[in-house]
Amino acid sequence: MSRYVILLVIVFGVQLAHAKPHTNTSQNTAKNANGNANSVAVQDSVSQIENKADTERAPRDETFRTKQGEQNQVIANATWWIMIFGGLSFVAALIYASVSILQWRQTARFFDITERPSLGIEGEMEWGQDPTTEEGFVEVTIKNSGKSPAVHVLGGMGSGIQVPGKFVPLDHCPEPDTGESFGTKSRGVIAIGGTTYLTGKSLTGKEFKGVLTGKLQYFVWIRLTYLKNPRQKKPYIFESYSRYQADTGLFVVCDTHNEAT
């Protein structure tokens, strides 16, 4: 009897041992199922949150892109206007520079006209005569009436007697025949308000008497060239053509030219 009791105890203990692990396994399975369910629920919640965030962010991104596009357009328009105003400013600067250069040239021209030397005949031409030989000659005074000294002055006086029987009209002065008729030339400087003298070639006593009585026609040519400064390339020119009028005893200027006036 006691043997059977012991045997039953042993069998019951073995079954109890086998039943406990099964219970643990079932509990673990339940726990795993619950954990999986919770994980799926969490993932679904995260997905819902992300979808909600994407849904809310999409309008903001679109608004940002729109604003950025508008700003880019404003910048592009501003760049074009800056380029246009820059071009206009450049053109205005060129016009201003051109006007300034023109004004400078006009000012320089005006200064050159108002401040240049100006040579011309001072007073009347006069006769001179050598008391020994009775030869006659013409003297003329040249004066600088300008506002600058005249330098490199090159002047000469020519004179001639018209062939008898071929009188020239009283209102006309013939051109000099040759350059040699101007005689000896001189070069020098004439200060402001300064003077110099030119003398024509001498006439014999007989010629001089014929001119004074009107039997011979006598003409005088004067030509002067001068500069304002040594660097000047083109000289100023003064020219005068005159004739002696026997009935009045004076020289009459037929024509005159002065580039400095």
Mean of pLDDT values over 40-64: 62
- Among 241, 191, 194, which Cα is nearest to 220's? 241
Q: Which residues pair with 142 in a beta bridge?
A: 121, 196
Mean of pLDDT values over 218-236: 88
This prediction has a pTM of 0.55
pLDDT attached to residue 48: 62
Would you place residue 187 in the very low, low, confident or very high pLDDT band (cuts 50, 70, 90)?
low
- Among 91, 110, 257, which Cα is nearest to 173's? 257
Would you place residue 94 in the very low, low, confident or very high pLDDT band (cuts 50, 70, 90)?
confident
Distance between CA 192 and CA 177 in Å, rounded?
33
Mean of pLDDT values over 101-113: 74
CB-based contact 244:211 (threshold 8 Å): yes
For the chain, how many residues are written? Answer: 261
